[in-house]
Amino acid sequence: MADKGSDLVMLWQKMIGEMEKGLNTFATEAMTSPEFSQAMNRAGGITAGAQKQLGEFLEKYLLNMNLPSRSQVVGLAERLQSIEAQLAEIKSMLQQMNAAVDPRGGTAAVPRPPRTKRPAQPPAPSSSPKTGEPA
């Protein structure tokens, strides 16, 4: 009985192999014909047109919903990267300027204006009686 099962499997594999060979031969012949290439070009053109129309529709829909489209988000991301690069450049320039002022690499000692105002002194206790109290 095991031989019968393996014979069926071998027969099935042989049949599938023959079908694959026939299908490959048919497909190869069909792809070499000019009609096939024309049909594929038309299908590609239709697909590209449909994608373009879908993109335009989605952009209008997002505009009506007051949401950014993919191209707008990409533009914002590019602008943000540009701003971040400029900030990094400014930061490095400031660090170079600070290092030039203070060679120790710490915070530069900025001269402060002289302090001419004195803080208010608390009133000294007096020995005289407070006004409005009987003596």
Name the pLDDT band for 122 (thresholds 50, 70, 90): confident
Does the pLDDT at position 96 exceed 70?
Answer: yes
**Max Cα distance, the chain (Å):** 133
Give residue 101's pLDDT. 76
Per-residue pLDDT tens digits for 32-85: 888 888 888 898 899 999 999 998 998 889 889 999 888 899 999 999 999 999
**Domain total in the chain:** 2
Name the pLDDT band for 124 (thresholds 50, 70, 90): confident
Q: Is residue 128 part of a domain?
A: no
Q: Which domain holds residue 28?
A: 10-67
Same domain? For 57 and 77 the reply is: no
Per-residue pLDDT tens digits for 1-12: 556 667 888 999
Contact 8, 1 (CB under 8 A): no
